[in-house]
Amino acid sequence: AAPSTDLLSRRSRSYSPIQGHYYAEPPRIERGWREHLIDVDGRHYLDMVNNVTVLGHGHPAVARTAERQWRLLNTNSRFHYASVAELSERLLATLPDSFDTVLLVNSGTEAVDLALRLARAFSGRPDVACVAESYHGWSLAADAVSTSTSDNPRAAETRPPWVHVLDAPNAYRGVHRGDDAGTAYADDARERFDALRAAGTPIGTFIAEPRNGNAGGIAVPPGYLAAVTEAVRAGGGVTISDEVQVGYGRQGSVFWGFEDHGVVPDIVTVAKAMGNGHPLGAVITRSDIVAALADQGTVFSSSGGSTLSSRIGVTVLDVLRDEDLQGNALRTGGRLRDALVALAERHPLVGTVHGQGLYLGVELVRDHDTLEPATEETRLICDRMLDLGVIVQPTGDRGNVLKVKPPLCFSEASADVFVSTLDRALTELR
């Protein structure tokens, strides 16, 4: 095989650099097995960042389904076949009764874009509120509500006037900290909504993740989502819970992220885990909301919910259930979190460990009082861990949070390898 560097230079000539890859010299991955990736030279890596391939790489059940369905039929989604209904029923069964309808698409971006279109049509109000430091996708509308400056340093300049950004509800380093942070952030949001209503631009949509994934798996403080949802609805608006990263049992305790917050959103967006790496996403909502688009023609996607992707979607739900991967996220994620918290006691660079289940973020800071982000150190640690066979990358607008979101089949042995490798990298850095 050609060395990675040859392939990199070929890629840089023919493929847009706008779609980046994190490492200066990324490993050239050829295959994967469970939470392990193997490069062209046969080197093994622990995959700590793959929040798409939830069942693990190379899962035989998905491979069998894909091959069988591919041989049987793969067609434009306009035709009628069983798997669309089966997948929709299975998705609805995971949600409260208020949800009664599903739209299948190909990605998280498409799901968010369609969700925004539905919410704006239903509320009759174009103005959308979202929170700082979040990412929702790359299409015109999804990008408009994506506020993360690590993904788009010019996000504030390119934002259209119908998007209103609320403070990131972060009780660790945000403007409000501590136990009452949720109420304080919600009060700020309510004030903002009142001002917008008075200005003649009432909020019709609120979109947020129930745990801020892009910022590092940061908890949305208790009380925040319930209070903001109430305020949005009081003003005639609807809410979108973006579950593209956090949903599908990754947190261990709950299947959907919003379940922790005592709220039921109006619209849920999901992708990534749904297809275990095969392009598949969904908007799950209520038929009265979808009806708002009825006079704007049909919503149609040639491949969204194709025979292949919807059949894979059903298999993914089967394997999640049969292998109790949400339970594994709870158990192994809990063990991993405990070990990371113990590590924090020995390494002052670790500010805090965010998250739960297999949705964790290790925030590195230079000073525990000022919380000065250890951005450079985070990069050095990621580079060193790659040398040591662990793929882990920074996230968050300060680039100082280690993103820990491995496949949900993650084993206890792998958790131990990750913690001991991080321990070594932190020790070497001192």
Contacting residues toward ligand PMP, per CB under 6 A: 107-109, 112, 135-137, 209, 213, 242, 244-245, 271-272
Nearer to ligand PMP, 112 or 283 (CB): 112
Joined together, the tokens standing for residue 93 give 């069964």
Nearer to ligand PMP, 106 or 326 (CB): 106
115, 240 contact by CB (below 8 A): yes
Nearer to ligand PMP, 136 or 176 (CB): 136
Least distance between ligand PMP and beta carbon 359 (Å)? 11
CA 129 – CA 264 distance, rounded (Å): 18
Joined together, the tokens standing for residue 130 give 């979202």
Nearer to ligand PMP, 62 or 270 (CB): 270
Nearer to ligand PMP, 126 or 247 (CB): 247
SS3 177: coil
Least distance between ligand PMP and beta carbon 244 (Å)? 4
Least distance between ligand PMP and beta carbon 371 (Å)? 24
Nearer to ligand PMP, 202 or 355 (CB): 355
Least distance between ligand PMP and beta carbon 271 (Å)? 4
> b/e map of 78-88 (b: 16 or more CB within 10 Å)?
eeebebbeebb
Least distance between ligand PMP and beta carbon 220 (Å)? 13
> In angstroms, what CA-CA distances link 236 with 167, 228, 395?
22, 13, 35
Nearer to ligand PMP, 136 or 159 (CB): 136
Nearer to ligand PMP, 243 or 377 (CB): 243
Least distance between ligand PMP and beta carbon 291 (Å)? 25
Q: Residue with CB nearest ligand PMP?
A: 108
The pairing of beta strand 163-166 with beta strand 127-131 = parallel
69, 295 contact by CB (below 8 A): no
The residues with which 256 forms a beta bridge, in sequence order, are none
Least distance between ligand PMP and beta carbon 234 (Å)? 26
Least distance between ligand PMP and beta carbon 428 (Å)? 31
Count of beta carbons in the 10 Å neighbourhood of residue 259: 18
Nearest alpha carbon to residue 248 among 94, 41, 48: 94
CA 371 – CA 428 distance, rounded (Å): 22
- What is the CA 331 to chain-centroid distance, rounded? 21
Least distance between ligand PMP and beta carbon 7 (Å)? 23
Joined together, the tokens standing for residue 422 give 């991080």
402, 359 contact by CB (below 8 A): no
Least distance between ligand PMP and beta carbon 240 (Å)? 10
Nearest alpha carbon to residue 217 among 150, 276, 134, 144: 134
DSSP 221: P
Nearer to ligand PMP, 56 or 213 (CB): 213
CA 408 – CA 336 distance, rounded (Å): 13
CA 360 – CA 405 distance, rounded (Å): 6
Nearer to ligand PMP, 107 or 414 (CB): 107
For residue 359, report the phi and psi dihedrals to the nearest 5 degrees. -140, 75
Nearer to ligand PMP, 109 or 276 (CB): 109
CA 122 – CA 425 distance, rounded (Å): 51
The pairing of beta strand 359-364 with beta strand 401-404 = antiparallel
CA 372 – CA 227 distance, rounded (Å): 31
Least distance between ligand PMP and beta carbon 198 (Å)? 31
User: Any alpha helices (H) in 347-411, and if so which ranges?
Assistant: 375-387
Least distance between ligand PMP and beta carbon 256 (Å)? 13
The pairing of beta strand 401-404 with beta strand 393-395 = antiparallel
Nearer to ligand PMP, 209 or 266 (CB): 209
